[in-house]
Amino acid sequence: MKGKTQQQKGVIALVLLAFGFGATAITARYLSFYFSLFQQLFLTLATAFVISLLIFPKSLTLKKLKTAPTKDWVVMFFRITVGYLIGASLYRESLTLTKVSNVSFIQSIPLSGLYGWLLFKEKFTFNKFLLLLTAFFGAALIAVDDFSSIMSFGRGELLSLISIAFFSLSFVARKWQSNFFTDKELAQISLFVGAVLMFVVSIINGEGLPPFSTETALVVSLGFSGFFNAINIFLVNYGFKNVKAVLASNIITLEAVFALILAYFFFSELPTLKGLVGGVIIIVSAIGMNKLEVKE
């Protein structure tokens, strides 16, 4: 990527992130057949941490950890709590309740732009607001099971909607952190602390230790899940640091396209017509918001 600007590199990172998210949905669905919710999260994050040590060796030192600003630690724990404990757990639960495509389409709602406006005073026009409402309409089309009762939301779709609200908050909160830690260091710290937190929650929740298995498909799936998580968190930190929240959120809508292709390939799963129409509405709304951003 020699000669590219930081924003261009950030955009490329976010496209790769979208694919990583799509692949994560597939591995999460598969792992749910073998592990309980927080066991799955603990194993995935622990594997991702080990892989991150191989991908980004010698990134951290004990001295640097001790001298880190208190604000950075506070923001990091906040992001881990809303991103992993709440966002990731609801996201993975939603994948066990409904189609991968439904979950991924809803994950494409461009909420980061709204947070960018509320928290960082980034420009958010009335037209953008209308597009965001249109995206929510698309989500409602996907989520409503019975149109004779507008409150008959599918539980999996509702959990996905709640999870993206917390995911988006965790993503844009990157801007609250200083540059004391590099993106690689932030990834490793977040994975380690997240793994420990998920392990503790798993034990408290009575799930116990995860079962041991040497089944090839399971080991490979866990390895890929860990790899994507190790890469994803670095790409989140790098992409959202160098690209405006609205544009970054829109790029990540590609997750739905990648997930749709992968879900068909691995599970022979296709969206319903209602789900596909709702998903297209969400994607079009996100693209429209991106065009407005480019014009400003």
Say which residue, 86 or 186, is predicted with more confidence: 86
Provide the domain limits for residue 250: 6-295
* φ/ψ (deg, to 5) at 63: -60, -40
| Cα distance between residue 95 and residue 88, in whole Å | 11
Under 8 Å CB-to-CB from 93, ≥6 apart: which residues?
37, 156, 159
Residue 175 in any domain: the answer is: yes
Residue 276 in any domain: the answer is: yes
| Cα distance between residue 277 and residue 283, in whole Å | 10
Does the predicted model carry a pTM greater than 0.85?
no
* φ/ψ (deg, to 5) at 243: -125, 140
pLDDT level of residue 27 (50, 70, 90 thresholds): confident
Judge contact between 162 and 67, C-beta under 8 A: no
Residue 120 in any domain: the answer is: yes
Residue 1 in any domain: the answer is: no
What integer best gives the mean pLDDT of the chain? 82
pLDDT at residue 164 is higher than 80? yes
| Cα distance between residue 260 and residue 69, in whole Å | 42
The number of folded domains in the chain is 1
Q: Which pLDDT does position 296 carry in this prediction?
A: 57
* φ/ψ (deg, to 5) at 124: -140, 100
Residue 127 in any domain: the answer is: yes
